[in-house]
Copies of this chain bind each other. A is one copy, B any other.
Amino acid sequence: MISESDCIALDEQDPLADEAVKYYLPDGMLYFAGHSLGALPVAAQKRVASIIRDEWGEQLVGGWNGAGWYSSPARVGAKIAQLIGADADEVTVTDSTSVNLFKTIIAAMGLNTQRKVCLTDREIFPTDFYIMQGIEELLGERFLLKAVQRDRIPEEIGDDTGLLVLSHVDYRTGDVFDMRSITRRVHQAGGLVLWDLCHSAGILDISLNQVKADFALGCGYKFLNGGPGAPSFVYVAKRHQEHISQPLWGWMGHANPFAFDETYESAPGIRRMLCGTPSIIAMGCFEAALDELLAVSIQAIQDKSRKLTRLFIELMKERCADFGFTLISSQNDAIRGSQISYTHEQGYAIMQALIANNVIGDFRAPDCVRFGVSPLYLSYMDIWRAVDTLRIIMETEAWQKFQGQKKETVT
């Protein structure tokens, strides 16, 4: 049996224990929704204030060059590159994940127009699926969307597969796809892969270049703590960069953005993935969050993530075994993201009861409760307290008063 003092001891040995003070959380809140919106890095607040007053206020339009605004997509991209095993000039930051999906899928499919099939997991995160449906509607027979059950993906990879689009970590279960073996398999079939890293960047030690990845992207606001609606990042392997064309031709992606040429010419390198003007304030907020995150190693984060999630699973077994929860996340560290999910027929009401008791996770219809685990601001004792709160809620049936009060939630 794991005891409270075991958890205290784990905290005392935790090399990341000092990170939590860098993130603001309301007193007493146990925050398990970092897979949806990461907590506020205290430094981000200061950085944004400085961008507004010292850059926008003092330099005005001169900030584009004087304060490094123009180069910020590349600069922030280079920081993300360190987290995902990419080179500095393979990542840029701009737009939303959905917009970047659109650009990147079309760019990738354009590399071999003989192959018209875009293969995906039909249970991929909905916005990814919607974007692919929109491309199919727009491009007609030039783009054949094939969405299959997850376990059928390997057998569906064939000589018509132009691109496989997968989420690295499943948003419901937290399961991790094996990036290396899937990428190899698609390459052997002559296709390409786009990895959605929304639920893995900032948590897993990702090695895009080592596994010979082609394309990847993700959002800034989950485990990267970039703030609500933070801009998205895009990775394109260097070998593809000079051959792709993405369809959103804006001035930031032009070879000579200041020449005001009449004709569009793609910028060299990763810059061609840019389109219009990004929000400099949102970008700066994201950058401050990344600077905080990069002060520790991603290996240390992954290591603590595995220990925290394992502890969560163990404590649930020991303390909440009788309450009807079914674990749908993997018990294998190597294929578990930083998220624990259970199904329970009263999942909605239970999560509401947890939230009312200041344990913030989230719920996914029809019956899934999710606990995102950020090693930067959660301790081993926080896991203890969360599971203990859940135990009390179940024992006292405190969830009952939340039945039938469903309201909208946001990922």
Select A278's contact among B29, B60, B96, beta carbons within 8 Å: B96
A52, B45: Cβ atoms closer than 8 Å: yes
Separation of A139 and B407 alpha carbons in the complex (Å): 41
Stretch of A63-71, A75-83, A291-299 with 4 or more beta carbons under 8 angstroms from chain B:
A63-71
Interchain residue pairs with CB less than 8 A apart (23): A26-B57, A37-B61, A39-B60, A52-B285, A61-B410, A62-B360, A64-B228, A64-B409, A64-B410, A70-B408, A97-B276, A99-B275, A102-B247, A126-B261, A129-B264, A138-B247, A227-B279, A258-B409, A259-B365, A260-B364, A279-B281, A279-B282, A282-B282
Stoichiometry, copies per complex: 2
For the complex, is A263 an interface residue (Cβ under 8 Å from B)? Answer: yes
Interface centre among A56, A135, A252, A280 (most CB of B within 10 A): A56
Which residues 30-64 of A sit at the B interface, judged by CB distance below 8 A?
31, 33, 36-37, 39-40, 44-45, 48-49, 52-53, 55-58, 60-64
A57, B40: Cβ atoms closer than 8 Å: yes
For the complex, is A403 an interface residue (Cβ under 8 Å from B)? Answer: no
B251, A127: Cβ atoms closer than 8 Å: yes
Separation of A134 and B133 alpha carbons in the complex (Å): 20
Select A61's contact among B33, B57, B407, beta carbons within 8 Å: B33
Select A251's contact among B65, B69, B126, B252, beta carbons within 8 Å: B126
Separation of A192 and B103 alpha carbons in the complex (Å): 27
Separation of A229 and B278 alpha carbons in the complex (Å): 5
B228, A276: Cβ atoms closer than 8 Å: no
For the complex, is A88 an interface residue (Cβ under 8 Å from B)? Answer: no
Mark A80-122 against chain B: 1 for CB-CB distance below 8 A, else 0.
0000000000000001111100100010000000000000001
Separation of A24 and B55 alpha carbons in the complex (Å): 12
For the complex, is A200 an interface residue (Cβ under 8 Å from B)? Answer: no
For the complex, is A384 an interface residue (Cβ under 8 Å from B)? Answer: no
